[in-house]
Each structure stands twice: as C-alpha cells, then as structure tokens.
Amino acid sequence: MQHTATNQVGLVSMRIGHLDFDDRPLFLAPMEDVSDPPFRILCKRYGADMMYTEFVSSAGLLREQEHEHQKLEIFDEERPIGIQVWGGGIDEVRNATPMVDAAGPDVIDINFGCPVRKIVQKDGGAGVLRNLDKMRNITAAVMEEATRPVTVKTRLGWDDDSIHIVDVARMLEDMGVAALTVHARTREQKYKGDARWEWLRTIKEEGTRDMPFIGNGDALDPEAIEAMFEETGVDGVMLGRGALGNPWIFERAKTYMETGELPPPPDWEERVQVVAEHLSLKCEWLGERTGVMEMRKNYSSYFKGFRNASTLRHELMQPETKAGVLEVMLNFKPDAPDIQVPAAKLPEETADPDAVDTKKPDVPDDLPSPGGDGADPEVGTKKAELPASMAS
C-alpha cells in the first residue's frame, strides 16, 4: 500500500496492494458503456498500466440483473484490473461486495464520484459527498467483506462550499484504503469548467502520506498528462475522456514523457485497423449482431477531425454485419471532396467519463455531451463468453 517517492515531482514507484507500478503509471477510468472488455484489451495493448471496469450497481447485482453480472467478467489479458462498485445503501454495498470479490479482480474500487443525477438521488456516486459519515461506513463495509485491496474514486466535494477532500483523503488512508483517485472538480461542476489541479497538489501535500494518489480530470492529451504529473505531484494519472476513441493515448503519452517528443497521431490506415479490431472483439464477446450495434456509439470518437467524418459515421450506421462495416471503412476515401451528409439524425458524441449515455431509463446522463438519460446498459441478451483469442 506504500509508495516510495524520488526527489523529482511526480516520479515515483507505486504499489497498490500486491501490484507494483513503474514511474508515472497511467490508468483507464471506469466509464459506463465504454470500459468493457474489448476496449480495455485495446487500451492494455497500447500501454495502459491498469484499468477499471464499467461501474457495477450493487442493487443490480443483488437483483441478479444479467447486464450487471456481465460487468464482472474480466480476462487475463486485461490484468491488473479493478472492478468498480457503487451503491447508495451501506448494507446493499456490503452484501454485493462478496459477488464482486468472487469475480477475481486485483482491486475493488468504490465509486464516490459519479455526478449523474439519478445515481446521486440514490445517494450513490458523488451523492455521498453530502454525508461523509456514510462514505466512511460504506468504505468500511466493503473492506470488511473484501479479500482484495480496496480503492476509492471521488471528487473534490459536493460544491465549492463543501470541499473537504483533504480530510477525506486522511480519513480513507487511516482506514487502510489502498489508493485514492480524485477527479479535480466538484459534483456541482460535473464536467464544466477547468479541472482544478491546484487541489490535486494540495491533496498530495496535505492529505496523503503513504497512500498512492491518482489524479483525474482534463488529462486529455500527452502534454496535459505530463503537466498533471509535473504540476501536482500525483503518483498516477487516470484517463477518461482522453481515451475515448483513442486507446493509443497511453503509448503516445509514455513516449512523450520519456523522450520529450510527441509521436504523430495515428493516420487513417492505423485508425481503421484499430476500429476493425475493436469491432471484431465486440463481436467475439457479444455475438455479431449485438457487437455491430454496440460498436456504433464509438465511431464518432474514432474518426473525429477527419474530412467527411460525418458522412462516414452515417454510412457506418447502416450495415448489420461485421463484413458490411469493414467494407464501408475499407472503401471510404477520407481525402475525397466534401460530401453532403444525407438528412438524418446522427448520434451525438460521447464525452462523459463516468456514465456514457446509452439511452436507458435508470441513470440519466445529465452532462452536456450525449443527450437523454443513460443507465445500467444491457449489452445484449446473449451471455458473453470471451473466446481464447481475447483472453490469451
């Protein structure tokens, strides 16, 4: 649970439970409807040091909801990996913890940071920032039931009048929490305005002693990732929005921090290759029909910024088979003259690192990126079994 710091700001060797990390480790954030096994495997291949699952509902586990139990599926190729759990009731989270523990994660993470309205209304996620005694009790309940290290992800506070994060960090370390991640905004801010990195520096200097501390918020590109390490002294950086449609950000950031040279972004051919691999992994995991449908929400992030990207996105929404999608990508000419997009309602881009919109009824995404409400996404009726090619 301890880390040993060097004399340089941010350059540390970090340990979370039994897990040892090299200097400046990078973590994939738990993102609802994004951080599933196919995407996690891609991020791991491109240099993520550790990853977290989509957040798992304690109540959903106890009600035996298939899509919540599906989120517990982890595979050897992904390790080290943490399963993140959330819940608004102490006993609810306590009773669900053995199910999470039995899935075999390297750590169990507690979500005290999600700002989505319906989660907060259930006193889950960032809702618990209004009741720090309850935060303590939920943490204690998970630690009592878990046989693995327990970590926490949270925010600065509920609003500017209730930023008690330094005291929260001290409390969690005294309880034996194995690592703390803080998104440098309040719940009131959600994802608006700049992340307040000055608070990350304060937490590191005044709130934590030996507990590893991971920063989160606006680490959207290699330069920002290095800046967070340098300016705040955090032991690790967690990437959310910066990784959407961009699994190679981990590799590019590490190269930049090691050499000072920024690698070029992936070109069209590499991007198409990775999207094809992502699609194949989705189809292997969920079955072809569901995999093709589920993959559609990812295209806008992957192809953002390319000429005629809107046209491509529209065309990729049409095929119902993997072969059809691959044919569209292989035949598309990104450097062709501008093409008019046929009149159609195209899905908006996703940018919520805690609860990406899936237009389900329970957990609305009230952030300014995707419209509508999102929740506990069902990723298909077929029970997923990852083939050997994904679990190597």
pLDDT at position 305: 82
**Dist. CA 221–CA 74, nearest whole Å:** 27
pLDDT at position 333: 76
Per the structure, how many domains does the chain have?
A: 1
Task: Kindly tell me the sign of the dihedral angle through the C-alpha atoms of 311, 312, 313, 315.
Answer: positive
Residue 369 lies in a domain: no
For residue 347, what are its two tokens? 């899905």
Residue 360 lies in a domain: no
pLDDT at position 3: 37
pLDDT at position 282: 95
Amino acid code (one letter) for 307: R
User: What is the pTM for the complete model shown?
Assistant: 0.82
pLDDT at position 306: 82
Whose structure tokens read 């910024």?
305
pLDDT at position 309: 87
pLDDT at position 296: 95
Residue 174 lies in a domain: yes
Residue positions forming the annotated binding site: 84, 153, 183, 240-241
Give residue 4's region: left, alpha or beta (phi > 0; psi -120 to 50): beta
Q: Are strands 12-16 and 3-5 parallel, antiparallel or unpaired?
A: antiparallel
**Dist. CA 268–CA 352, nearest whole Å:** 25
Whose structure tokens read 């992502």?
278
Residues of the chain with pLDDT under 50: 1-12, 337-392
**Dist. CA 228–CA 60, nearest whole Å:** 36
pLDDT at position 72: 97
Q: Which residues contact 36 (CB under 8 A, 6 or more apart)?
A: 53, 54, 71, 285, 379
Domain CATH for 159: 3.20.20.70
Residue positions forming the annotated binding site for FMN: 84, 153, 183, 240-241
pLDDT at position 335: 66
Residue 328 lies in a domain: no
The catalytic residue positions are 114
Residue 44 lies in a domain: yes
Residue 339 lies in a domain: no
Residue 356 lies in a domain: no
Residue range(s) defining the domain that contains residue 49:
3-259
- DSSP-based three-state secondary structure for 180: strand
Q: What would the DSSP string read from start to end of 67-135? A: HHHHTT---GGG-SEEEEEE-SSHHHHHHHHHHHHHT--SEEEEEE----HHHHHTT-GGGGGG-HHHH
Residue 370 lies in a domain: no
